[in-house]
Structure 1
Amino acid sequence: MKIELKRIRVRDLVESYEDNDELGVRAYDGRLDVRPPYQREFVYKDKQRDAVIATLRRDFPLNVMYWAVLDDADADGVEFEIIDGQQRTISICQYVEGDFSIEIDGHQMAFHNLQDDQQQQILDYELMVYLCEGTDSEKLDWFKTINIAGEKLTDQELRNAVYHGPWVASAKKYFSKTGCPAYAISSDYVTGSPIRQELLETAIKWINGGKVDEYMRDHQHDQNAVELWTHFQGVIAWIEKTFTQKRAKMKSVKWGPLYAKFHDTDYDPVKFEERVSALMGDVTVENKSGIYEFLLAGEQDTKLLTVRIFSEKTKVAAYEQQTKKAKAAGVSNCPMCAGGHQSKATVIYEFAEMDADHVEAWSKGGSSDLANCQMLCIHHNRSKGNG
């Protein structure tokens, strides 16, 4: 890769700056593409952004930037694209445009609030820019290795760089902007930041069984991401039809795999809501997010709920109550032994020889408290089932 150092003044960088959803971000009199297809969204926090402007105001050196030189200017006159320095470039342009202010001597000062000499000092600041000429692969390698310390690329940001093209550009319109269409319909059901590409990653996992790279490989040169967007909308619509009440625990559910497995099954949303409400209120159910899969799968696997077992204190109390009554009656302290016609009908078991059991099965609504606890000998408890 051929590299040449160039000094560029801030006044030239911010010339004709524009941030447009359709065209992207342009600067340097329209000659610089600030956000090429492989670049991340703007992710600087206020403190980082303000630090860039403070660096300029003090005439301290700002980290060097890298621009790729395009082989030929495109139809819009773009001659360069940023490999590294997007976050700093946008911070500078936004400040000069008046999009935010910084604290100076205890006051919030936008660019237009500065004295003329202060403005000129910023505009005359010289940025150190390396102009790089090379193949697309070489530019991509640079992009992946010289990013700003402390803002490590996410896996999906790297995938967007590797598989950049019309499909990624289209997908980002649906999934990668603050307030994007996907976030607007899914914020109650999924976690993750659109601008860090986590929402896009989730959508691809949903449509392709978790195989993100494989899907992006196969669709890299598609002209749009309508298939992905349509599938994502379908999953959200199914969630809302099946579970009519929104709850915070829904964000922890892996909806994509559940949709793939159960969306062709008919469910009664009214009955589901009654069961969800009951299980949410059951203090013995520790994994509330597991309720949804538990119901979809027919209430068979209680492991999904991490049902709280009887506490040691409850088991000891139940054992003492049962043993006292059993000794007084001359029968076994295991109710199933005492009620049977066995040689053990009068046996008094030690605490370690017994297990706690639900009188009314938990799966049928029984609670895990003392009133619903009975101690059975290990043999009978393990042969009883459905406790």
Structure 2
Amino acid sequence: MTMEITERRIKVCDVFENYENDDEEGVTGYDDRLDIRPKYQREFVYKDDKRNAVIDTVLQGLPLNVMYWAKTGEDTYEVLDGQQRTISLMEYVDGNYSIQYDGNSMNFSNLPDDAQERILDYELFVYVCDGTDSEKLKWFKTINIAGERLTDQELRNAVYAGTWTASAKKYFSKTNCAASHYGSNVGCEGYVRGESIRQEILETAMSWISDRDGISIDEYMSRHQEDQTAQELWSYFRTVIDWVEGLFTKYRKEMKGLPWGLWYNELNGHTADLKPKELEEKVSELMADDDVTRKAGVYEYLLFGDEKALSIRAFSNRDKRQAYERQKGICPLCGKHFELDKMQADHIKPWSEGGHTVPENCQMLCTQDNIRKSNH
């Protein structure tokens, strides 16, 4: 069937009937016929100014953006788009926050009767969508929630909604979830960028474990959609964080956001030859080295030996000119003369052997000899 969309006008007071907000376990209203926060939706993320703007818009009788509900039964629905605005209204009517009204801070019960009536009688403009799950989810991916764009992981949660997603959110996405606190030093948020409530920690964990299995995040979620728990993901994530903290015993801000899980996968967790005490000494030394311009690259360098990760400071144009004139344009390796723009600066004593990026350690090599030297 082709998805049908019908227009309806529904009063705030009708949506508020038997409204219940069980925090992150679910939000319902419309006399238990409306699932305001379906399991795949994000938690409430509106800031106070946006939340208050919703109430102000309603009090002025101005139109809110259209909302979308999806039919789930004969007379039951779930909010496809409009959760943030709906909860803003319901929470205010329920007396859970105040707004500025005529220069005073007022919750709903303090408002004049006519203002209360304007809110309760306000008609929400709702499109009700009726179709297959795939049609509704496809439509869900095309719409935004009052300017709060969905993240890629929030969209995936919609497409692969099921028991696994519900379990994964408990570990990685709820306020004060287990993942946000895991880690003996600074919690996992010291190693992972993003907010749990916006699914960003979950997405990072997903990117790591799907890389381990050689598949995409979408494929991993598809395979595990009907699993009863996300215990495998949670155990794997803890293993990665434990591995990082076991190797690098002192936390530094440069560790945040590095691809730890990808590195763990590449090494298969085999780093027995790396000693934590020696690693800390090397980290400290490299962090203090002025020639290391990318401090976050220290960890990749120590794990894989890739000097490029450090972005060693380059010689200045002045250093290059002085070395070129000193050499009279002669490449010391092949003995041929070249113009300056045909030569490249090189450390006489390599940085890895203690050579620094200083004028006296600079030599100019022809392009071909510099490439040959770099490859050895």
- TM (norm. structure 1) is 0.81
1:145 aligns to what SS in structure 2? coil
Q: How many angstroms does 1:92 deviate by?
A: 0.8
Matches within 5 A, 1:1-387: 1-21=3-23, 23-71=25-73, 79-148=76-145, 150-185=147-182, 186-209=188-211, 211-262=216-267, 263-266=269-272, 267-297=274-304, 299=305, 301-317=306-322, 356-370=345-359, 372-375=360-363, 378=366
Q: How many angstroms does 1:296 deviate by?
A: 0.7
2:10 aligns to what SS in structure 1? strand
Higher deviation after alignment, 191-200 or 14-23 = 14-23
Q: For the residues of structure 2 that align with 1:227 and 1:166, how far apart are their CA atoms?
A: 14
Q: For the residues of structure 1 that align with 2:169 and 2:310, how far apart are their CA atoms?
A: 36
1:119-158: CA deviations, max 9, x gaps? 2332232323344433322332332334335333222222
Amino acid at match of 2:66: V
Q: For the residues of structure 2 that align with 1:244 and 1:283, how far apart are their CA atoms?
A: 23
Q: Is the Cα contact below 8 Å between 1:309 and 1:368 reproduced in 2? A: yes
Q: Is the Cα contact below 8 Å between 2:331 and 2:337 reproduced in 1? A: no
Q: Is the Cα contact below 8 Å between 1:253 and 1:290 reproduced in 2? A: no
1:63-92: CA deviations, max 9, x gaps? 33232333268xxxxx32112221111111
How has the CA–CA distance of structure 1 residues 334 and 151 changed in structure 2, closer, same or farther, with 3 Å as cutoff?
same
Which sections of structure 2, spanning at least 5 residues, go unmatched?
A: 183-187
Q: How many angstroms does 1:307 deviate by?
A: 1.0
Which is greater in Rg? 1
Q: Is the Cα contact below 8 Å between 1:67 and 1:132 reproduced in 2? A: yes
Q: For the residues of structure 2 that align with 1:385 and 1:145, how far apart are their CA atoms?
A: 49
Q: How many angstroms does 1:53 deviate by?
A: 0.7
- TM (norm. structure 2) is 0.84
Q: Is the Cα contact below 8 Å between 2:319 and 2:362 reproduced in 1? A: no
Q: How many angstroms does 1:102 deviate by?
A: 2.6
Q: For the residues of structure 2 that align with 1:203 and 1:54, how far apart are their CA atoms?
A: 40
Q: Is the Cα contact below 8 Å between 2:82 and 2:146 reproduced in 1? A: no
Q: For the residues of structure 1 that align with 2:337 and 2:7, how far apart are their CA atoms?
A: 90
Q: How many angstroms does 1:194 deviate by?
A: 2.2
Which sections of structure 1, spanning at least 5 residues, go unmatched?
A: 74-78, 324-331, 338-343
1:43 aligns to what SS in structure 2? coil
1:205-241: CA deviations, max 9, x gaps? 1001161011011111111111111111111111111
Q: How many angstroms does 1:261 deviate by?
A: 1.8
Q: For the residues of structure 1 that align with 2:91 and 2:302, how far apart are their CA atoms?
A: 50
Q: How many angstroms does 1:272 deviate by?
A: 0.9
Q: How many angstroms does 1:164 deviate by?
A: 0.9
Q: For the residues of structure 2 that align with 1:383 and 1:2, how far apart are their CA atoms?
A: 67
Q: In the alignment, what sits opposite 2:185?
A: none
Q: How many angstroms does 1:383 deviate by?
A: 7.2
Q: Is the Cα contact below 8 Å between 1:349 and 1:377 reproduced in 2? A: no
Q: For the residues of structure 2 that align with 1:9 and 1:21, how far apart are their CA atoms?
A: 23
Q: For the residues of structure 1 that align with 2:84 and 2:158, how far apart are their CA atoms?
A: 16
How has the CA–CA distance of structure 1 residues 364 and 54 changed in structure 2, closer, same or farther, with 3 Å as cutoff?
same
Q: For the residues of structure 1 that align with 2:373 and 2:278, how far apart are their CA atoms?
A: 29
Q: How many angstroms does 1:386 deviate by?
A: 9.7
Q: Is the Cα contact below 8 Å between 2:329 and 2:340 reproduced in 1? A: no
Q: For the residues of structure 2 that align with 1:356 and 1:12, how far apart are their CA atoms?
A: 75
Q: Is the Cα contact below 8 Å between 1:38 and 1:160 reproduced in 2? A: yes
Q: In the alignment, what sits opposite 1:76?
A: none
Higher deviation after alignment, 46-55 or 164-173 = 46-55
Q: In the alignment, what sits opposite 1:328?
A: none
Q: Is the Cα contact below 8 Å between 2:292 and 2:310 reproduced in 1? A: yes
Q: For the residues of structure 2 that align with 1:189 and 1:272, how far apart are their CA atoms?
A: 18
Higher deviation after alignment, 39-48 or 167-176 = 39-48
Q: What value does the CA root-mean-square deviation take over the aligned residues?
A: 3.2
Q: For the residues of structure 1 that align with 2:373 and 2:10, how far apart are their CA atoms?
A: 81
Q: Is the Cα contact below 8 Å between 1:356 and 1:373 reproduced in 2? A: no
1:1-39: CA deviations, max 9, x gaps? 455544433233223433325631122333321111232
How has the CA–CA distance of structure 1 residues 270 and 58 changed in structure 2, closer, same or farther, with 3 Å as cutoff?
same
How has the CA–CA distance of structure 1 residues 80 and 305 changed in structure 2, closer, same or farther, with 3 Å as cutoff?
same
